[in-house]
Every structure is written in C-alpha cells, then in structure tokens.
Amino acid sequence: MKTETDSAVTETLLYHEQTKHHFHRYARSLGFLDWATQPNPFRFYEGVTAVRLPLLQKDPASEHLALYERRRNAFQDFNCESIGAFLELSLGISAWKSIPGSTWALRMNPSSGNLHPTEAHLILPALPGVTAGIFHYNSYLHALEPRAEVPETLFLPLPARNERGEDRGEGNSR
C-alpha cells in the first residue's frame, strides 16, 4: 500500500531524473529563458549600512609582465582604497550591456553563465571608517556589507613557537 509520502518521493525522484543534465543531453527545459522570473543577480543584505569603497580614478600603471612577476609591483598600504581597487579589478562590474527591454552587468570574474555570480567575503581588521568584522562584497554598490563583528584581538600576532610548539617568548624569531 503506497502512502502519500511514497507518492511524493516517487514524483520528486521522477522529476529530478527527467530534468537533470545527462552525459548525452542537456537538462529538459522550456527552451527559452523566462526573464521575468530570474533571480536578482546581485546579493543584498537588508538592514545593514554598507561601507562604500572608492573606485579607481584611473587604471593602474603596470606593464603586462607585472601580472606574473611580483617584483614589478610596489607594495600597497592595506586600507579602504587598496581593498576597493583589489575588489574592483577582481570581482567588480566591468561594463553594463543592454538591448531594448533588458540591461545586465558584466563582471570582472564571470561565473560561467550561471545565475549565481562569484561572491566574496572578507575578514578585516579595524580600518578608518570600518570596524573589525566579516563583510560581504556587494559589486553592484562597490561596497562592503557588514555580516558580523569580530574582536580586535583576532588580529593580534600569534606568539612565535619552536619546532615542538612551545612558546619561544616575545621578540624571538626563527
């Protein structure tokens, strides 16, 4: 005797089998994208005060080889400007495209066409205008959205240890 639960499980498994990707065919679909019901391509956390990051005023002056040879790059201060530049160039919006009736963003780090773009979370010490915490990078706003506060002590240096894991005392180095 089949129960209602058995029928629901059977129906769910059948649907899954009929609509999943297979080695020899794509997943069953409507044959078109339903633009009206797509999820928002940007994640927003409600009820938080986003910390806006500055946008670069001009492209960084670098040679092609600077991408591959670290010595060609000057060290940057760790601040909101350098964090903003890093996020803008690695995960930010590179352009907006549109056709009549539709507009969409192109990202520096696309997600292979999926509907879930690459997201980033940062754990940051206190900086001017930013409390120590965990933040979500919102590429639409080019801002950090606070997710949790963390104690400043998290960012204190760990004591030096010897090979046996014993504290070597402050000021000692290997």
Q: Is 17 left (phi over 0), alpha (psi -120 to 50) or beta?
A: alpha
Higher pLDDT, 18 or 11: 11
Is pTM beyond 0.85? Reply is: no
Tokens 């919102």 found at: 138
- Predicted local distance difference test score (pLDDT) of residue 66: 83
Question: How far is 108 from 93, CA to CA, in rounded Å?
Answer: 6
Q: Is 171 left (phi over 0), alpha (psi -120 to 50) or beta?
A: left
116-173: pLDDT as tens digits? 678 899 999 999 989 999 999 999 999 999 999 999 898 888 787 777 777 776 544 4
- Predicted local distance difference test score (pLDDT) of residue 172: 43
